[in-house]
Structure 1
Amino acid sequence: MTSAAVPDHPWLLPGALVEAAGRTRRTARDWLVDGLGFLLALGWAVLAFGDAASPDPQFALNAGPAWLEELDFVCGLAAAAALWVRRRWPVGLAVATLPLGAFSVTASMALLIIVFTVAVRRPFPVAAGLVGVHLLLAFAYYGLRPDPALSFWAAMVWTVLFIAAVLAWGMFVRARRQLVVSLRERAERAEAEQQLRVAQARHLERTRIAREMHDVLAHRISLLSLHAGALEFRPDAAPEEVAKAAGVIRTSPHAALQDLREVIGVLRAETAAEEDPERPQPTLGDLPALIEESRAAGVRVSVRDVVPAVDRVPLAVGRSVYRIVQEGLTNARKHAAGAAVTVDVTGGPGDGLTVEIRNRWPVGGITGPEIPGAGTGLVGIAERVNLAGGRLAYGRDDSGDFRLAAWLPWPA
C-alpha cells in the first residue's frame, strides 16, 4: 500500500490499517504528541532515579541495590527513546519492553504510554492480553521492590486500577476514532452516491430526449424522403400532386428544425429530468392526425381502434401508443414502401392497451432508394415499453408479415 492510499489523518485509522499509516510521514500533530510523550517519559525517568538515589528513605521510591538503580535508569532512558517508534510497531515494542515491568521504576511512564498506544491501535483482546501480562509482572516487581508506604496487596490494587484506567482510556479513544472514520466514510459514500444519482438522472434525461427526437425526426424525415422520391420518380405528376408534395417538403424541415432547437436548448441548459417531456406531448387522441398524415403521404393505412373513453387513457400510456404507431409507420415507409399497413389498438381500464402494426414483407426487395436509419428506433420503443411495465414483440410472423406489437398496462 502506498502513502497515496492512506487518508490525511492516519491517527484516525483503526486496526490493520495503522501499519500502513505508520509508514506515512508524521504530521505536525504527530510530532507534537510524540515529543510530549517522550519528554514526559524522560522527565519521569530522571525524577524516579533522583528519588531512588535520595538518602532519605522517606522519599525513596521502591529503592533497591545501587547497580539495579543504574540499570533501571538506563532502561528508563531506552524506553523513553523507543517511544518514537511506537506508532509503527506498537505490539512489538510492548512485547520487547515487557521485562522492564518486573523491576523498572524509571520506565513505568513509558510502559504506560506504550500500553495506551496498543489499546488505541489494536483490538481489545491484544491490548487486554498485554495488560494481563503486565499485571502478572507486577507481582515480581513488588516482590523485588516493595513499596515503602503501602502493603503488597494495597500496592497491587492501586496498580490494577491505574492500568485498567489507562486501558479504558485507550479503548475509548480507539472507539471514538473508529466512529469518526465511520462517519467520514459514510459521508464520502453518501456524496459519491449522490453524484452517481445525478449522473444517472442526467443520462436518463439525455436518453429520453434522444428517444423523443428519434421518434419525431425519423417520422418527419421519412415523410420528406417519401415525397421527394415521388417527385423524382414521377416528374410528370399532376401540378396539384407536385404542389402538395412540395408543401410537405417545405413544412417538414421547418417542424424538424423547431424540434431540434428545443431539444438542443434543453441539453445546453442541463435541466433535471422530468416526468413528461416538454415537447412534443402527443396522446392517444392525436393518433387519427398521425394516420391521416401518413395517408396523405401515400401510405395505405387501415385502422381498427376500439378503445373506449380515449380521454381516460393515462397520458404516459397514450404517448407510448402514439410513439409505437409512429415508429411502425416510419419503418413501413422505410423498408416496405407501397405495402398496406394495418393498425389495431384495443383494450380498456384494467386490461391494458394492446397496439399492433402489421405490414406485408416487401416482395422482390426494395424497388426505390432505401431511407437510411440508425437502427435505434425499435431499441427506443423497447426502452419506452419496459419503463411503462409493458411487453413488446416484433419480427416476421408465420404469415410472413412484419408485426410490431406491444401491451401497456392501464390501471382500472
Structure 2
Amino acid sequence: MTTPSTSRLNAPTGPARGLGGRPLDIILALAVTGVLVAIISAGVGGDTESDAVTYLWAAGLGAVMLVRRRYPVLVLAVSVLGLFAYYSFGYPAIGVAVPVAAALFSAAEAGRLRWAVGAALLVVGASVFFRLAEGEAASLVIGYELAGHVLLMAAAIALGDGLRSRRRLVADARRIIALTAEDERRRTAESARIEREAIARDLHDALGHRTTVISLHADVAREALDRGDRAAADAALGIITDSSQAVLSELRRTVRLLRAPDEAHAPAESLSAVLESLPTLLVPGTELSTAVQLDAPLPGPVDAAAARIVQESAVNVVRHSRASRVEVTARVVEGVLELSVVDNGDAGAKASAVSQTAPTGTPASHGSGIVGMRERAEALGGHLTAGAENGGFAVRAVLPLARDEETR
C-alpha cells in the first residue's frame, strides 16, 4: 500500500506556489511605477518640484514588488519608510494610500495581516498628525480625504487576505482529495485481501472435501477388487472420476478469479447442490435423511455458509465416525436458518479424532473443521455448536438471514 509523501501533502500553499507568480509581480511593479510617475508628473502641491530623484524613487518603489512574495514584511517597511522620506523632501503630493497599497496587499496575501494593519494605521496616523500640525484644515484632512485613504488601504488588505484565504481553501481541498484517494486505495487493498482470503478458504474447503471423497472411494474400490466385486469397484471409480472433475473445475474457477481480479467473486456452492451431491460424500451404504423447509431462496452468503457447514460435517462423519445414518435438516424460522447434521456414529471416537487435529489455542473437542464452521456462522452473526448427542454427534448452526447493523 502506498502512502502520500509528506512533501506533497504538506507543500507550501502561499502565494509563491501560484501559477504565473513572476509575471504578475512584474505587472504589479510596472503598475505601481506608472501610477506614481503619473501622480508625480501632475505636480500638485509640495515645496520642491519633481526631478529625476522622484522618478527614480517611483521606479524603486515599484521594483521592490519583484521580491514581495519572498520578503513581504521587508517590502512593506521599505514602502512606508520610502513614503515618509519622499514627503520629508517636500516633493509634490502623491497621497498616502496609493504608494503603499500594493505593499499592504502583498503583506496580507502572505499572511502578515497584523503587519499590514499596523502599517496602515501608522501611515494614516502620521499623515493626519503632520498635516494638522502644518495648519491644514481638519475638515479637509479628516472629513474629506481620510475616508478615501482608509477605504483604499482597507480594500488592499482585504483583497490580499481574501486571496490568501481562497488559496488556503483550495490547498485544503486538494489535501482532502489526496487523503480521500489514499483512503480509497487502502480500502480497495483491504477488500482485495479479504476477497483473496475468501477465495483461498473456499478453495481449501472444496479441495479438502473432494480429496477426502477420492481417498475414501479409492479404498472402497481397492477392497471391492480384492473381493472380486467389479460392480462396487466401478461405482467407486465413477465417484472418484466425478470428484476429480469437480476438483479441476474448482481450480479453473479460482484461476479465472485470480486472473481477472476486477470480476465479482464467483458464487460458491449452494446448499441445494451440496445436498444433491451428499450421497457421494458419505460411505456407501450410509442411510441419508434430509428435511429441508425453505419458502424462498437463501441469501448468497447464508447459502454458501450453510453449504460449507453441511459439506464439512459430512466429511467429518466419513473421517471420524462409523455412522450408519446421517440426518440433515434445514428450516427457516422467524428470519433465521436452523441447520443441523446429526449422525449415530461413535461420538467418543469422533471427539477423540477431531481433538487430535485441533489447532493450538482451540478447545480440545473442536477440530479445525469445526473451528472453520463456527467462524463462518459467527461471520454472519449466528452461532454453531458441535458435540456428542444421544450416542452420536451433532452439528447445529443458527444463521440469521439478515444481519443487524450492530453486528456489521
Same fold (TM over 0.5): yes
**Is the aligned partner of 1:322 residue 2:307?**
yes
Structure 1 residue aligned with 2:43: 60
From 311, 315, 334, the counterpart of 1:350: 334
Structure 1 residue aligned with 2:72: 90
Measured in 1, the distance between the counterparts of 2:348 and 2:74 equals 82
**Is the aligned partner of 1:158 residue 2:148?**
yes
User: Residue deviations 1:65-86, cap 9 Å, x none?
Assistant: 68x9999777756544433332
From 240, 246, 256, the counterpart of 1:265: 256
Measured in 2, the distance between the counterparts of 1:60 and 1:146 equals 21
The structure-2 alpha-carbon separation of the partners of 1:109 and 1:176, relative to structure 1 and needing over 3 Å to count, comes to same
Which secondary structure state, in structure 1, belongs to the residue aligned with residue 398 of structure 2? strand
The structure-2 alpha-carbon separation of the partners of 1:135 and 1:324, relative to structure 1 and needing over 3 Å to count, comes to farther
The structure-2 alpha-carbon separation of the partners of 1:221 and 1:47, relative to structure 1 and needing over 3 Å to count, comes to same
- What is the percent sequence identity of the aligned residues? 23
Structure 1 residue aligned with 2:200: 210
Which secondary structure state, in structure 2, belongs to the residue aligned with residue 273 of structure 1? coil
Structure 2 residue aligned with 1:54: none
Measured in 2, the distance between the counterparts of 1:95 and 1:30 equals 22
**Is the aligned partner of 1:224 residue 2:206?**
no
Farther off after superposition, 262-271 or 351-360: 351-360
Instruction: Map 1:155-194 onto structure 2 (within 5 A).
Output: 155-189=145-179, 191-192=181-182, 194=184
- Asked whether the 8 Å contact 2:290–2:328 carries over to 1, the reply is yes
The structure-2 alpha-carbon separation of the partners of 1:4 and 1:193, relative to structure 1 and needing over 3 Å to count, comes to closer
Calculate the aligned-residue CA RMSD, in Å: 4.7
User: Residue deviations 1:212-270, cap 9 Å, x none?
Assistant: 33332221111112223455688734433333332222221112112222332233233
- Asked whether the 8 Å contact 1:389–1:409 carries over to 2, the reply is yes
Structure 2 residue aligned with 1:282: 270
Which secondary structure state, in structure 1, belongs to the residue aligned with residue 282 of structure 2? helix
Measured in 2, the distance between the counterparts of 1:325 and 1:350 equals 21
Which secondary structure state, in structure 2, belongs to the residue aligned with residue 156 of structure 1? helix
Farther off after superposition, 209-218 or 31-40: 209-218
Q: 1:130: how far off? A: 4.7
Farther off after superposition, 170-179 or 157-166: 170-179
**Is the aligned partner of 1:243 residue 2:234?**
yes
User: Residue deviations 1:113-160, cap 9 Å, x none?
Assistant: 221122223276665455444433442464588999x92122211101
The letter for the 2-side match of 1:60 is G
The structure-2 alpha-carbon separation of the partners of 1:110 and 1:135, relative to structure 1 and needing over 3 Å to count, comes to closer
- Asked whether the 8 Å contact 1:86–1:93 carries over to 2, the reply is yes
The structure-2 alpha-carbon separation of the partners of 1:141 and 1:246, relative to structure 1 and needing over 3 Å to count, comes to farther
For structure 1, list consecutive stretches of 5 or more residues without a partner in the other structure. 52-58
Structure 1 residue aligned with 2:377: 385
The structure-2 alpha-carbon separation of the partners of 1:79 and 1:141, relative to structure 1 and needing over 3 Å to count, comes to farther
Give the TM-score normalised by the residue count of structure 1. 0.69
Which secondary structure state, in structure 2, belongs to the residue aligned with residue 87 of structure 1? coil
**Is the aligned partner of 1:292 residue 2:284?**
no
The structure-2 alpha-carbon separation of the partners of 1:162 and 1:363, relative to structure 1 and needing over 3 Å to count, comes to closer
Measured in 1, the distance between the counterparts of 2:207 and 2:30 equals 79
User: Residue deviations 1:173-193, cap 9 Å, x none?
Assistant: 234334433443454455445
Farther off after superposition, 110-119 or 176-185: 176-185
Measured in 2, the distance between the counterparts of 1:42 and 1:364 equals 96
- Asked whether the 8 Å contact 1:354–1:406 carries over to 2, the reply is yes
Measured in 1, the distance between the counterparts of 2:262 and 2:217 equals 37
- Asked whether the 8 Å contact 2:257–2:263 carries over to 1, the reply is no
Q: 1:46: how far off? A: 5.1
Measured in 2, the distance between the counterparts of 1:181 and 1:346 equals 58
Q: 1:326: how far off? A: 0.9
Measured in 2, the distance between the counterparts of 1:70 and 1:301 equals 117
The structure-2 alpha-carbon separation of the partners of 1:346 and 1:147, relative to structure 1 and needing over 3 Å to count, comes to farther
The structure-2 alpha-carbon separation of the partners of 1:232 and 1:120, relative to structure 1 and needing over 3 Å to count, comes to farther
